[in-house]
Amino acid sequence: MKYFAHPTAVIDENCAIGEGTKIWHFSHIMTGATIGNNCNLGQNVVISPGVILGNNVRVQNNVSLYEGVICEDDVFLGPGAVLTNVINPRSAVSRKNQFKTTLIKKGATIGANATIVCGKTIYQYAFIGAGAVVTKDVPAFALITGNPGRQTGWMSEYGHKLKFNTDNIAVCEESKQQYLLKNNIVIRIA
C-alpha cells in the first residue's frame, strides 16, 4: 500500500489515493474519490464520490467534502469547514442533477468552521478566515472574514497580511516575496 490508512478508516473500492497520503481515525473515502500524493486527512473526514484533491492537500478534522468539490495542490481546509453542493436543498426533492462545482485553487486556505456556498471559486492563495461565510468568488490572495464574507485585506503565499506602500508594492514578512496591487488584483512579482 502506497498510502497510510488508520484501521478505523473506511476506504471504498475504486477510489484513487496517492503515495504518501495519510488517512486518520474514522474517515471515509468513497468510491470514485481522487486524492493526490502527500495529502493528510484528519479524523472524521468524509470524501464523497467525484471529489478531487490535488497533491499536499490538508483536510483537518470533521470536514465532509461532497460531490462537486475540487481542491488543487497545497489547499488547507481547517477543522469543521463546510463545503456544500446544492444551492437550495430539500429533503423531499432530489437535486442530484443540480450539484454545483466548488473549486479551491492552489495554495488557498479555508479557516476553521468557514462555510463555502457551492458553485464558487476560491482563487490561488486566498485566505478564508475562521467562521467566514463565502457567498461569491474570491480573488487570488484575498483575505475574507465575517458573515457574509467580505474582503478585509490581502495575504501572501506564506499566509501573512500584506501591507502595500504608496507604489502598491508589499513584501511578505516571512518569505520576503514581493507583491503588486494593480486594478484590485494582486500578483507576486519577486
DSSP string, 107-162: T-EE-TT-EE-TT-EE-TT-EEPTT-EE-S-B-TTEEEETTTTEEEEEB-TTS-B-
Q: pTM here?
A: 0.96
Quote the radius of gyration of the chain (alpha carbons, Å).
17
Structural domains in the chain?
4-158 (2.160.10.10)
Q: 90-147 pLDDT, tens per residue?
A: 999 999 889 999 999 999 999 999 999 999 999 999 999 999 999 999 999 999 999 9
Instruction: Give the Cα separation of 138 and 44 in Å (integer).
Output: 27
pLDDT at 49 over 80: yes
Res 156: pLDDT: 98
CA distance 34 to 14: 9
Q: Which three cell numbers stand for residue 129?
A: 478566515
What average pLDDT does this structure show over 148-153? 98
Strand order in the sheet with 64-65: 10-11, 28-29, 46-47, 64-65, 82-83, 115-116, 133-134
Contact (Cβ atoms closer than 8 angstroms) between residue 66 and residue 84: yes
Of 168, 138, 172, which Cα lies nearest the Cα of 155?
Answer: 172
Q: Measure the CA–CA gap between 107 and 118, rounded to whole angstroms.
A: 19
